[in-house]
A and B are shown apart, each in its own frame.
Chain A
């Protein structure tokens, strides 16, 4: 069983301690979210786990064979067209051109991109389309571990649902493991098996919430009621500074 295991992870920029003694574990086909206010070290934690930052203290064990990521901004290469952008990860894996274009086109259609968009450059696509392409690029490689760095934050509610449904399909089929970062508690509840609360200054995990109901059985009512419950949680209120004055 592949897993991502973080043990006693601490990280600082100069004298600024960003993360302190972080411990958690993500097992295969689990969805784990980190919620916390902006600037609390969520992205730093993700970058450490993804191997984009060098570890300073503690241990990270990542035994997933393949990984990919979707960011808040689409980060499409502006000099590549839609299909080339989607196929980027496949190209890195050494999949031959014909094969990778075929797979890219297939997933593009699934993400409701149209054939006429295939040879457009990112500048010719709307923001929503760009995010579809970005998601297609992240998923076309069939990653074992997917990092989501607030990819839904800037989207309208319809597209948000649509992309989340794609992710839910994969979760239901137990095909993917997800490390999800968000500041939106409702989003976290909809998708996750476990929600870790990251308190800032310095970043540390102060509480873990478990959600056992399978994702595809969670209706709006479930999500809303759980959200209400979490929002009245002492630690959540303090971490997000929710108190009314």
Chain B
């Protein structure tokens, strides 16, 4: 509770610190415009055209529907990864054998390129929701699992000893001694996994479905409709930036304040 209040209290100051970021985004848009002037509209539409198309897109029912489909797929499969990956990671972390056994498997899973998963999933599940969701889960869960595993493996026994002398009740020990440490590992893993999930969902949709933003991107490509393609990309990046800078980053700062 206290933590939420602190995060909200620091939020205005955090936003104010965003001017630098904003300036660099504008610089990027300026470079983009230079690119447009050099290579022409077909290769790289101007930022202005792209933003105009973007506005039009949001009037289009079809686009809104696709956007919601993609969001639903990303959110459901990421939430699944988050819950199951965190749970399994914590569990494995508490047992030496489980962490030793799981390590190589995780390395294999993390080393497997998502595109290979997409091919396999298309063979196994055909075209559709399940393929996309499966790929997002296998791509994002290992990241979360490793975060949770490391969080529990690196708990300091010294703190536990100290707490035991004071006869700290289990629930308080969990909240005050274990959780802050574990969370400081798990939370960055969540953020990394979210980025991964978002990228993979688009890629899987592009190859394996007829709906969603990935599919819309595929259609705009086949029509050589570069402004629409860029507008969709802008939406994708915009959504990730909102998730990251408006929600996740302030929490992360609050969580990691005590760190060196």
A80–B257 CB distance below 8 A:
no
**Residues of B close to A88: CB separation below 8 A:** 163, 166, 168, 176
Interface residues of A in 105-137 (CB under 8 A from B): 121-123
Q: Is B159 an interface residue (CB 8 A)?
A: yes
A78, B259: Cβ atoms closer than 8 Å: yes
Taking a contact as CB atoms under 8 Å apart, the answer to whether B176 and A80 are in contact is yes
Tally of contact residues, A, Cβ under 8 A: 24
Least Cβ distance of A123 to chain B in Å?
A: 5
B177 within 8 Å of A by Cβ? yes
B260 close to A123 (CB less than 8 A)? yes
Residues of A within 8 A of B162 (CB): 69, 71, 75
Q: Is the CB of A75 within 8 A of B259?
A: no
For residue B181, which residue of chain A has the nearest CB?
A79
Asked if A73 is at the interface (CB within 8 A of a chain B CB), the reply is yes
Establish whether residues A77 and B158, one from each chain, have CB atoms under 8 Å apart when the complex forms.
no
Q: Which residues of A contact B166 (CB under 8 A)?
A: 68, 88-89, 92-93, 141
| Interface hits, A80-96 → B, CB 8 Å | 80, 88-89, 91-93
Residues of B with C-beta under 8 A to A75: 158-159, 161-162
Contacts of A52 in B (CB 8 A): 161, 164-165
Is A147 engaged at the interface, CB distance under 8 Å to the other chain? Answer: yes
The prevalent SS among residues of A at the interface is loop
A215 contacts chain B at the CB level, 8 A cutoff: no
Q: How far is the CB of B123 from chain A (nearest CB, A)?
A: 47
Q: Is the CB of A123 within 8 A of B168?
A: no
The CA of A67 and the CA of B167, in the complex, are separated in Å by: 9
Pair B259/A77 contact, Cβ less than 8 Å: no
Chain B residues in 8 Å Cβ range of A121: 257-258
Bound together, the chains give a CA A141 to CA B162 distance in angstroms of: 14
Sorted from nearest, which 3 A-B pairs have the closest CB atoms?
Answer: A79-B180, A92-B168, A89-B166
Q: Which residues of A contact B (CB under 8 A)?
A: 47, 50-52, 67-69, 71, 73, 75, 77-80, 88-89, 91-93, 121-123, 141, 147
Task: Name B's A-contacting residues (CB within 8 A).
Answer: 158-159, 161-169, 172, 176-177, 180-181, 184, 257-260
Q: Show 27 A/B contacts (Cβ-Cβ < 8 Å), sorted by A.
A: A47-B161, A50-B165, A67-B165, A68-B165, A68-B166, A71-B158, A71-B162, A73-B158, A75-B158, A75-B161, A75-B162, A77-B159, A77-B176, A78-B259, A79-B181, A79-B184, A79-B258, A80-B176, A88-B176, A91-B176, A92-B167, A121-B257, A123-B258, A123-B259, A123-B260, A141-B166, A147-B165
